[in-house]
Amino acid sequence: MRTREARLASAYVTTVRLNALDSGSVETGALVVGINTSPDGLRPAPGAEDLDAALTGGLAATLTSLGFTGKPGEVAKFPTFGAVPAPVAVAVGLGDAPDEPGAYDLEVLRRAAGVATRALAGTPSATLALPAATAEQAEAVALGGLLGVYDFTRYRTGGDAKAAVGELVVLSGASGADEAVGKAATLAESVTLVRDLVNTPPSDLSPGGFAELAEEAGTKAGLSVEVLDEVALKEGGYGGIVGVGQGSANPPRLVRLGYSHPAAETTVAFVGKGITFDSGGLSLKPSASMPWMKSDMGGAGAVFGALLAIAKLGLRVNAVGYLCLAENMPSGTAQRPSDVLTTYAGKTVEVLDTDAEGRLVLADGIARAGEDDPDLIIDVATLTGGQIVALGWRTCGVMASDDELREEVVGVAVAQGEAAWGMPLPEELRKGLDSPIADIANLNPERSGSMLAAGLFLREFVPEGVRWAHVDMAGPAFNKEAPHGYTPKGGTGVITRTLVALAERHQAAREA
């Protein structure tokens, strides 16, 4: 276990703290300031005044000479030549200034801080003097900065690994900012863990290995942990998870993580798809589609990270997380197209395509979650290529048992900077899942509306009377392109923060 722990631990540690001093008096390796656009040209944002004064009002002119325009996401580094205690200044664009300092968009601040810290890899320390007039803004700046320093270096040799920024200082005198920055550190720790898991090669992250990690980290965080191995899964009737995992030398697992608070009146259940590698099974994927299939456990990763954060934050809500873990491989023991399996709910499924495996493990997880008597079930999965076709690589699709819940999940995700869009569950597509020999087929052979049909399939396994939402994040879980904002190349950790925010929301709803 110690060997696995060493491999899965982050290769770097970045600390964050709050400082209420002005930026001109803080000794730091780099000073990060925001720049707004205006009809009269560039304008220093709140927090940049001290640097502008040290440059005798020449900050805007300096940046203009560098071709800097102040658009969101734009970044410029330049030496200060001793004008302030920091040897290097970093200007990030914030776009048009809001009417009030406290009205800066939180996602703009997160992305600005992330762009800046990504540009400062290897710097011992950096001070983020971005607008932070409220505790929420201070949290956004800290969170974006912490997420921006991420770099997966575990497998690099020969000194090629970049060092992260060692310490971040957030400048803010806002009431509650200290607690907000602490919350940002907790969220960033969970997202970093999820990114690490998604980026880890499947040779080092089997279903059993993931379950062991979840058991150790969950127990340490104060969660109750139950792990069902392949024998218990078969005896318990978890036909979906067993069927998907039976072709692999690495057997499947189901992990239940439980968090409870004595003052809680609401229970939320999160169910995550955890396919540690998806070859497609006997319905083999094209070779070009396989290298990033290590990310097919991103849903389970998000649930795992969210439960750890919920516990550390001490939210007054009961939360349960199910990690549905399997490896989908072709072999002489693998399930075959046309096989019929019996799920935990007792329903039979005709397997038309073994590459439509995520919905099979989720069916078992969703049905099992119903035994916790939850007020809400949310499943999270890298489920369909149809999500990417419909919404692209950065926007999750959200389906739900009712319109109000669907829009609630979308709104919470967007507020966290995790793009999502509400999608329907058209009843006419349900007929395409009919099977002549079983209760339901795992695929509509025509492939039309495949993301929506997958949602309709999962709806069949939701316990009666329980509100349910499904998040398809096939594209957003893994960034195959260049880094942007605070999002790195590779695993993104997407939806982890959304799940935590939903738990907070249901806590707040009962408190109100």
Number of Cβ within 10 Å of residue 124's Cβ equals 12
Which pLDDT score is estimated for 252? 99
Instruction: Calculate ∠ Cα 184-185-187, nearest 5°.
Output: 65
* Collapsed DSSP state (helix, strand, coil) of residue 98: coil
Question: How far apart are the C-alpha atoms of 288 and 281, rounded to whole Å?
Answer: 15
In the set 4, 285, 430, 467, the catalytic residue is 285
284: which 2 tokens?
Answer: 């083999």
CATH 3.40.220.10 placement within the chain: 14-172
Give which of 322, 321, 323, 328 is closest to 294, Cα–Cα.
328
Q: Does the pLDDT of residue 418 top 70, yes or no?
A: yes
Q: Which of the following is catalytic: 183, 195, 359, 394?
A: 359
Out of 142-156, 354-368, 398-412, least confident range: 142-156
Binding site residue list for Mn(2+): 273, 278, 296, 355, 357
Q: Of 31, 18, 133, which is closest to residue 82 (Cα–Cα)? A: 31
Q: With bands split at pLDDT 50, 70 and 90, how would you rate the model's confidence at 1? A: very low
Active site residue 359: yes
Of the candidates 397, 401, 367, 371, which has an alpha carbon nearest to the alpha carbon of residue 384? Answer: 397
- Non-local (6+) Cβ contacts of 508 within 8 A are none
Share of the chain above pLDDT 90, in %: 88
CA–CA gap between residue 256 and residue 443 (Å, rounded): 27
Which tokens sit at 254?
């189901």
Q: Which residues pair with 258 in a beta bridge?
A: 224, 320
What's the CATH number for 14-172? 3.40.220.10
Within the chain, all domains assigned CATH 3.40.630.10 are found at 193-511
Tokens standing for residue 384: 């369909």
* CA–CA separation, 273 and 382 (whole Å): 7
The torsion angle over the Cα atoms of residues 35, 36, 41 and 42, rounded to 10 degrees, is -10
Inform me whether the pLDDT recorded for 3 exceeds 50. Answer: no
Higher per-residue confidence, 25 vs 362: 362
pLDDT at 166: 86
Sign of CA dihedral 137, 139, 140, 142: positive
pLDDT band at 337 (very low <50, low <70, confident <90, very high): very high
Residue 177 is given by DSSP the state H
Q: How high is the pLDDT of residue 43?
A: 95
- Which whole number is the average pLDDT over 448-465? 97
Instruction: Report the DSSP pairing between strands 467-472 and 396-400.
Output: antiparallel
State residue 15's pLDDT score. Answer: 77
The answer to whether the CB of 499 falls within 8 A of the CB of 302 is yes
- Predicted confidence (pLDDT) per residue in 242-299, tens digit: 999 999 999 999 999 999 999 999 999 999 999 999 999 999 999 999 999 999 999 9
Quick one: pLDDT at residue 26? 74
Rounded to the nearest integer, the mean pLDDT of the chain is: 94
> How sure is the predictor about 4, in pLDDT bands with cuts at 50, 70 and 90?
very low
Rounded to two decimals, the pTM is: 0.96
Helices (H) and strands (E) in the chain, counts: 15, 20
Annotated binding site: 273, 278, 296, 355, 357
* DSSP-assigned states of every residue in 243-296: HHHTTSSS--EEEEEEE--TT---EEEEEEEEEEEE--TTSPPPGGGSGGGGGG
> What are the tens digits of pLDDT across the range 85-117?
999 999 999 999 998 878 999 999 999 999 999
Q: Return the pLDDT at 193.
A: 97
As a whole number of angstroms, the distance between CA 203 and CA 34 comes to 43
Rama region for 157: left / alpha / beta (φ>0; ψ in -120 to 50; rest): beta
Summarised one tens digit per residue, pLDDT across range 14-35 is 678 777 666 666 789 999 999 9
Please report the sign of the dihedral spanned by the C-alpha atoms of residue 344, residue 345, residue 350, residue 351: negative
Q: What's the confidence (pLDDT) of residue 2?
A: 32
CA dist., res. 78 & res. 75, Å (int): 10
Residue 285 annotated to the active site? yes
Q: What is the dihedral of CA 94, 98, 104, 109, to 10 degrees?
A: 0
DSSP output for 182-242: HHHHHHHHHHHHHHHHHHS-GGG--HHHHHHHHHHHHHHTT-EEEEE-HHHHHHHT-HHHH
Determine contact, residues 349/360, Cβ cutoff 8 Å. Answer: yes
| CATH 2.40.70.10 matches 193-511 | no
* Exposure string over 397-434, b if 16+ CB within 10 A, otherwise e: bbbbbeeebbebbbebbeebbbbbbbbebeeebbebbe
pLDDT tens per residue, range 123-176: 999 999 999 999 999 999 999 999 999 999 889 886 555 557 889 999 999 999
The amino acid that residue 254 corresponds to is L
pLDDT band at 366 (very low <50, low <70, confident <90, very high): very high
